[in-house]
Amino acid sequence: MSQQAGTPGQTSGTASAAASAATGAAGAAASAPRASAKPLSEAYDVALLDLDGVVYVGGNAIPGAGQALRKASEEGMRLAYVTNNANRTPAAVAEILTGFGVAATAEDVVTSAQAAARLLAERLPPGAPVLVVGGMGLRVAVRERGLRPVSTAAERPAAVVQGYNPGISYPLLAEGGRAVAAGALFVGTNADRTLPSAHGPQPGNGALLQVITYATGQQPLVAGKPEPPLHEESVARTGARHPLVVGDRLDTDIEAAQRVDADSLLVLTGVTGPAEAVLAPAHQRPTYVAEGLSGLTEPQPEVGSGPGGFLCGGWTARWTDGGELDLSGQGNRIDGLRALCAAAWSRDGVTPDAVSRALKTLADSAS
């Protein structure tokens, strides 16, 4: 049987042995999506929410996201918006959220630009020049940490920091490359290979970082998810005691939560789909799975296990004698996915072919 959520897992450095014993170590490799008798908005004090693919896509609000966030807030959950996108300032992000009907201020937003600036400030003296390869959000974050943003290698920067900006230019990348080649510390706000858009995935900052990396042979220090600095910055700014990381990507949001022993909720409104969730490697498995942000305000059902397979809602997932995963039953698609995840995560080396038939059954149920 999966474990019921009592006291949620605490963030790294604050978890007690008693809490870990009661609920299982937060962030440990999941063998099945966990259950919670309480809505997650009551079980956790702060939601650390990703933005792209969770609240909006390409500047357009995801249907139902605003309503779910307002309800979670009304039920006592504090909301913080934690994004790997370093282009916008926190104030600009808050303005977008307010336009969606979500009450937010700049203090509610934590960006990878802020985490990168903190990382730099921990390594450089006050007032040190930093060549910023990115947008205004990154320049403001660097300045707020007492460092001096510059734009050319001729100013002998102590570091180069690069963050996503859709208008990034070759001349600025070239300046960054020259500075790194001359010995400047190289920092990336995040290493996302892609980011979601209304037209599908497009190259993210991780792809753009490769320009300077390939030219200089230097790998950057990375501040954003899944690396710990952004989570540490988020916890420091919110004072979260029992945070829940909410995201749409296994390789950033969910892996980041596991690295810092935090619980996580995967939503299916962005990059990750059912197939990726079922095939998730152990270090990228979420604590909970939901269709969207409405999962914050709902209890999480238990996934039962027994000789007949793994059961959730009206669905049963079981392994056949031929080594294929089979799904039968009916009900909410997300319950079928929870059962499939439990079955797939119970074995090592599961292949796409082994789960393809079950995933088709799941897809057909939603059509």
Q: Is cis: bond before 226, omega within 30 of 0?
A: yes
Question: Which residues lie closer than 8 Å to 130 by C-beta, 6 or more apart?
Answer: 120, 124, 142, 147, 148, 149, 150, 157, 158, 159, 160, 161
Could you tell me the two tokens for 299?
């209890």
What is the rounded CA–CA span in Å between residue 70 and residue 337?
Answer: 26
* Active site annotation includes 261: no
Say which of 50, 108, 261, 335 is annotated catalytic: 50
Give one DSSP letter per residue of 308-328, joined into a string: TEEEETTEEEEE-TTS-EEEE
Q: Are 36 and 5 contacting, i.e. CB atoms less than 8 angstroms apart? A: yes
Q: Are 345 and 31 contacting, i.e. CB atoms less than 8 angstroms apart? A: yes
Say which of 45, 52, 108, 326 is annotated catalytic: 52
Q: SS3 of 111, please?
A: strand
Q: Which residue intervals of the chain are DSSP H helices?
A: 17-23, 40-43, 65-74, 90-99, 112-121, 136-144, 170-181, 205-216, 228-238, 255-259, 274-278, 333-345, 352-366
* Active site annotation includes 251: no
Name the nearest CA neighbour of 265 among 9, 22, 75: 9
Helices H / strands E in the chain, number of each: 13, 21
What is the rounded CA–CA span in Å between residue 200 and residue 45?
Answer: 33
Q: Are 53 and 248 contacting, i.e. CB atoms less than 8 angstroms apart? A: yes
Name the nearest CA neighbour of 48 among 205, 240, 191, 222: 240
Element (H, E) at 209: helix 205-216
Active site residues: 50, 52
